[in-house]
Amino acid sequence: MTGPAVDIIPARRGKAVALAKGQTIRVINTPGTQVLDTWAFNRGDLGESMSMEHSRSFNSKIMLGVGDSYVSERRRPMLTVVEDTSPGIHDTLLCACNRYIYEEQGCREYHRNCTDNLHEALAEMGLKIPFTPAPLNLFMNIPVNPDRSISRLPPVSRAGDHVRLKAAMDLVVVFSACPQDMSPINGAQKTPRDAHYAIES
């Protein structure tokens, strides 16, 4: 028996995936160290998108776990966490990286970034949105300290850890294998690597 096909989310690149209501996607942190910025849009109306600020409000927590649902700004569940083999550390607080952040960090040339990856991946599907929603940063390790500062630490997930997310409506889901190589959020080696996913019925 073969399982569902496993596809690549190439290092530093975005990938848009159509997901039907009821389907589950397994998102695999192949190297263990790779952060995956993640967005979801109602496939029938791109004006409805997964919202981190509404998901925190809906669940009354800043980090969601198994059984919790990420919701849209219309408060409808979009993706429900059905399994997580990692320690469950994901981030809902930080923006997608963009060209301006890399300029801030001293880059003089264009640096690939999750914001452009989102829009490029949607464009490959012929889709366009007028802004960049705050992403779900799967596997990203951003603790909030008691003084309300945040730290940027390497992921605590292990090679091959996965999260399974179930679609509560027909969706376009976009992943970006975060290109950040100037801070340790993609591991102490600061090296973005390929991740993978599989759509399960």
- When asked if residue 54 is in the footprint of its own copies (CB under 8 A), the reply is yes
- When asked if residue 11 is in the footprint of its own copies (CB under 8 A), the reply is no
Q: For residues 12-51, which are near its own copies according to CB under 8 A?
A: 47, 51
- Give least dist CB 86 to its own copies, A: 16
Given candidates 100, 159, 160, 200, which one binds its own copies under the rule CB under 8 A? Answer: 100
- Contact between 39 and 9 (Cβ < 8 Å): no
Given candidates 4, 63, 77, 107, which one binds its own copies under the rule CB under 8 A? Answer: 63
Classify each residue of 175-190 as buried b or exposed e, where b means 16 or more C-beta atoms within 10 Å of its C-beta: bbbbbbbbebbbbeee
How many residues in total does the chain contain?
201
* C-alpha 133, offset from chain centre: 11
Point out which span in 27-35, 36-44, 126-134, 159-167 binds its own copies (CB under 8 A): 126-134
Sign of CA dihedral 125, 24, 52, 12: negative
Point out which span in 2-10, 59-67, 77-85, 116-124 binds its own copies (CB under 8 A): 59-67
- Give least dist CB 194 to its own copies, A: 25
CA-to-CA dists, residue 79 to 46, 69, 109, 151, 165, angstroms? 15, 6, 36, 27, 6
- Contact between 14 and 174 (Cβ < 8 Å): yes
- When asked if residue 62 is in the footprint of its own copies (CB under 8 A), the reply is yes
Q: Which of 100, 196, 86 has the alpha carbon at shortest distance from 141?
A: 86
Tokens linked to 149: 């500062």
User: Pattern 134-173, binding to its own copies, x per CB under 8 A?
Assistant: x---------x--xxxxxx---------------------
Q: Which residues bind its own copies (CB under 8 A)?
A: 47, 51-54, 56-57, 60-63, 73-75, 93-95, 98, 100-101, 103-104, 130-132, 134, 144, 147-152
